[in-house]
């Protein structure tokens, strides 16, 4: 796992539906209701378990906020970007 160089980050983020906030990548997804939000979280969790890398997850009724960061390396890594792309593929 490697921290991404600041100079490369903007280009790597361009194809992703995540917003950078400081040392985190953030994605907000809305579903029809709480059950839909939870189903989405369970889908994300399957990818996270496979990657051995886990986003922070907040559920507010129908709205899920995901935050990806590699705390041990103090920033955004290739592992974050890879999982971010896999999660984007979930939501189409």
Q: Which residues bind its own copies (CB under 8 A)?
A: 34-35, 38, 41-42, 45, 48-49, 54, 56-61
Least distance in angstroms from the C-beta of 80 to its own copies: 15
Least distance in angstroms from the C-beta of 90 to its own copies: 16
Least distance in angstroms from the C-beta of 38 to its own copies: 5
Q: Mapped to the 3 state alphabet, what secondary structure does the chain carry?
A: CCECCHHHHHHHHCCCCCEEECCEEEEEEECCCHHHHHHHHHHHHHHHHHHCCCCEEEEECCEEEEEECEHHHCECEHHHHHHHHHHHHHHC
Q: Measured from the CB atom, is 14 or 71 closer to its own copies? A: 71
């Amino acid at each position: 796992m490697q921290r991404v160089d600041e100079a490369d980050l903007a280009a790597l983020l361009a194809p992703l539906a995540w917003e950078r906030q400081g040392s985190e990548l953030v994605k907000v997804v809305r579903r029809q209701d709480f059950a839909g939000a939870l189903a989405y979280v369970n889908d994300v969790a399957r990818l996270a378990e496979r990657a051995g890398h886990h986003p922070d997850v907040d559920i507010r009724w129908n709205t899920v906020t995901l935050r990806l960061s590699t705390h041990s390396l103090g920033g955004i890594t290739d592992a974050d970007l890879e999982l971010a792309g896999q999660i984007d593929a979930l939501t189409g």
